[in-house]
Structure 1
Amino acid sequence: MEDRRLETHPDLMDPEWRKQAEREARIGAKKDRKRIPKPRSRRRFRMSRRGRVLTLFLVVTVVVLGAGAVVMQQLRGRDAGSGQPPRAAPVAIGVDLARPYERTPAANWREGIAGITMPRGEPVGDFTAQEVEAGFRTVTQAIAAARLGTPVLRAGDGSELLALLTPNERARLEPTLTGPVTIEKGNFLTLIGPKGLLPVTPRMTGFLTVKAGRTGELIIHASYTTAYAFDALPSEARTPADIVPFVRDEQDYVIRKAPPFDKADAGLDFGDGAAYRTRMACDAAKAGILAPQYADKDRPVAVGMPVAVDEVATYDPTKPLPSLETCK
């Protein structure tokens, strides 16, 4: 009877065949292990996510650029269709009316009379230290009344300055300082024309010096420059120089005591003086009015100062007063 059990099969009983079969089985097992996929490492997973993000970014960029190109093409087509040249980008004005003194020599000056310094009060001639200090206060009040006072800047009213003068000097100057606008009145007061000032305080720089005069006289010299900021429309001014004129003053003030002077001559009086104005409208200046240089319609905007003028020295009270006329 034939033996059909697997373990008694003739091939399995052959030693050589069994060795060959075991060898092929081992080779097959190794091949199967190589085909098993290995799990991806964490690092390879992160790199894959970055790749997806980069791909998304590139896709979005291409879409945006494409949309921008379409819009630009439509705008060009619209301009071309209308027969008009492509619209240029608006040019920003170079004047900041909220900070009008920026980019001018007055940028770091102090506001108002605080810009004028004075020496410490000491005895001078017939005047005590206290009288000299009182003289400084009177002179700074006169400067403020002439160059900074609300009545003078708004209405050309010189009453504040008149009140500080001796009775005789007041009587002499009252017709001029309270009358209509003239060049003589403009020599004593800052007269503002139709082009109004911005709501900012004028800026000043300067100093006072003192010396003895005749018996009973004290001479206080004021060297100072005042900058004014005028209002303007965007079409009227391109640089701060168009809206900020400067007034340079060299003025002697004489203070007299009574006695030896009588009461009509005791107090504050004007001595020698000179002034120089720059960056203003020449047409207005010839009438005694201070106006920004853009107010001259027949004058190019921002023409600046004459080439021969040292602008820094012009505004510096420690330098000699310029003699070159800026309006011809």
Structure 2
Amino acid sequence: MQRGAGAVADKPSQEPRPGSGEEPSIPDDVWEKFLENHGTAPPKEPSARARMVTERLRQQDARGKEPEGWRTGPAWQEMNGRTARRRRVWSVLGVLVAGAVAVVAMKPSLLPGDPFGTGTSDPAAASPLPVETAAPTAPPSSADPETPTPAHPFAGSPALRWADGEAGIVLPKATPVGSLSKAQVEQALELTRTLLTDANLNAATLRGERPTTALSVIEPQQKDLLDRLNTSLRKPDKKHDPLGMFSRFDPSEVKLVGDVIKTRGRMTFKAGEQASVAIHADYTFVYPVQKADGSKEVTRTIVRRVLDVEMSDPAKYTVTRGKIAVRRYDQEVGNSACDIYDGYLHPQFDSDAPTSAPPTGPTTDPYDRSKGIDDGRTEGCGTVSRV
């Protein structure tokens, strides 16, 4: 469209464009009045951009929302919130854990598996007897009348506090004897322990197998003794009874309960004849057993053995180095059928019906080690006061 002359152009607005950075003019009379009242230049009027920011902040404040910033942004607030929640949760757990620790401290057996080893149901088991260094002056005191079970085969027995197996055969400290050195005496003691262990604790020997190790430490020149022992193992009878030296059970009749045999006794030595060291051993072994037919009933057989051996100086006598000569072997057995000479111990159970004549001998305590093995010995079968 073509404009005609005399046309008037639109007057531009005096308001600056938002964000232009321009400022609106202030009338002179307003400016002068401000100077009169304040004596200084008035502040500049906010720009449109500043007014927009101010208005946005006002609206956010009215809605209760704070602007994002390096201190007050959502990430900072959320992180603080999670941290506070974690602190509260751990505080509660801390109280619960503290309570649990207090309970366990008072009764540690509540923990599964008893990791501290303090939850034993048998206080006596936690206090084993000291090593026997001399003959006791009296039989062991009576134990609680508990019935042995497969889980607790020594319940109600004084042997509960005895050592387990070979740990009960403690050797005395070796010293030189006569012409024998300390090392030779120590060897003789070790050989005696080997004989006792294989004859009374070895699993193969206990189930009736040949006690090869025990026989191997005996002086080969003791031919009569070795012949007698070999015959008793091969064809036992009343004159050749292997039970005089070895503990044996018929595996078709009974079986051991667990793998622990209780042992208590002592070993001593002194100078012997023929430039030898004479060793005296006196030990009692307690065997928990049950019938091989699957019955759960448990009983015990108690065997006390006395063994006297010697080892002579090979520089002075014709002897075999590294062997011991057996001078005496004897035994007492508690809870085994009498007058049976098949080479096996035969434990008696409470549930067994009588199969032989009533006992004619005295009643004895098989745990009594205060007396010698020969004291009060009589012929015939007796009874035991406890097993």
TM range (shorter): 0.5 to 0.7
Q: Please state whether the residue corresponding to 1:204 is helix, strand or coil.
A: strand
Question: 1:119-158 to 2 correspondence within 5 Å?
Answer: 119-158=172-211
Give per-residue Cα distances to partners, 1:72-125, cap 9 Å, x unaligned: xxxxxxxxxxxxxxxxxxxxx933112211111211111112112332111222
The letter of the residue matching 1:133 is E
2:300 pairs with 1:244: yes
Question: Which residue of the partner structure matches residue 27 of structure 2?
Answer: none
Which residue of structure 1 aligns with residue 169 of structure 2?
116
Preserved contact between residue 279 and residue 304 of structure 1 (Cα < 8 Å):
no
Cα distance change on mapping 1:170 and 1:199 into 2, 3 Å:
farther
Are 1:319 and 2:371 matched, yes or no? yes
Cα deviations by residue, 1:51-78 (Å, 9 ceiling, x for unpaired): xxxxxxxxxxxxxxxxxxxxxxxxxxxx
Counterpart of 2:151 (choices 98, 108, 115) is: 98
Task: Give CA-to-partner distance per residue, 1:158-195, whole Å, 9 cap, x none.
Answer: 21211111222367515336513344222121121131
What is the Cα deviation at residue 271 of structure 1?
0.8
Do the aligned partners of residues 128 and 296 (structure 1) sit closer, same or farther apart at CA in structure 2, a change above 3 Å counting? farther
Distance 2:155 2:302 in 1: 14
1:203 is the counterpart of 2:257: no
Partner of 2:276 in structure 1? 217
Which one has the bigger helix percentage?
1
Report the CA distance shift for 1:281/1:290 in structure 2 as closer, same or farther (over 3 A): same
**8 A Cα contact 1:279 1:305, kept in partner:** no
Out of 175, 189, 207, the residue aligned to residue 246 of structure 2 is 189
Query: 1:135/1:264 Cα in 2 relative to 1: closer, same or farther (>3 Å)?
Result: closer
Distance 1:96 1:136 in 2: 36
Q: Distance in 1 between matches of 2:308 and 2:244?
A: 14
What is the Cα deviation at residue 204 of structure 1? 0.6
Query: Is the 8 Å Cα contact of residues 360 and 380 (structure 2) preserved in structure 1?
Result: yes
Structure 2 residue identity aligned to 1:144: T
Bigger radius of gyration among the two: 2
Whether the aligned pair in 1 keeps the contact of 2:191 and 2:323 (CA below 8 Å) is no
Give, as a single letter, the amino acid of the residue that structure 2 aligns with 1:268: I
1:46 maps to which residue?
A: none
* Counterpart for residue 78 of structure 1: none
Native 8 Å contact 2:149 2:296 kept in 1:
no
Q: 2:317 aligns with which of 254, 257, 261?
A: 261
What is the distance in 2 between the residues matched to 1:228 and 1:121? 30
Q: Distance in 2 between matches of 1:235 and 1:266?
A: 45
Task: Supply the AA of the counterpart residue of 1:251.
Answer: L
The 3 A distance-change label for structure 1 pair 223 and 289 is same
Cα distance in 2 for residues equivalent to 1:305 and 1:98: 35
Q: Are the equivalent residues in 1 in contact too, given 2:305–2:330 (CA < 8 A)?
A: yes
Stretches of structure 2 lacking an aligned partner (at least 5 in a row): 1-145, 383-387
Instruction: Extract unaligned runs of 5+ from structure 1.
Output: 1-92
| Counterpart for residue 173 of structure 1 | 226
> How far apart are residue 247 of structure 1 and its match?
0.5
The amino acid across from 1:293 in the alignment is Q
Please give the TM-score of this superposition, normalised by the length of structure 1: 0.60
**Could you tell me the percent identity over the aligned residues?**
23
**Paired position in structure 2 for 1:89:** none
Q: Which residue does the alignment assign to 1:24?
A: none
Question: Is residue 352 of structure 2 the alignment partner of residue 293 of structure 1?
Answer: no
Change in 2 beyond 3 A, CA 1:299/1:135? same
Name the structure 1 match of 2:95.
Answer: none
Assess, with a 3 A threshold, how the Cα gap between structure 1 residues 236 and 171 changes in structure 2: closer, same or farther.
Answer: same
Higher RCO (C-alpha 8 Å, min separation 6):
1
Q: What root-mean-square deviation, in Å, do the aligned CA atoms of Structure 1 and Structure 2 show?
A: 3.2
Aligned length: 226
* Separation in structure 2 between the aligned mates of residue 156 and residue 295 of structure 1, nearest angstrom: 28
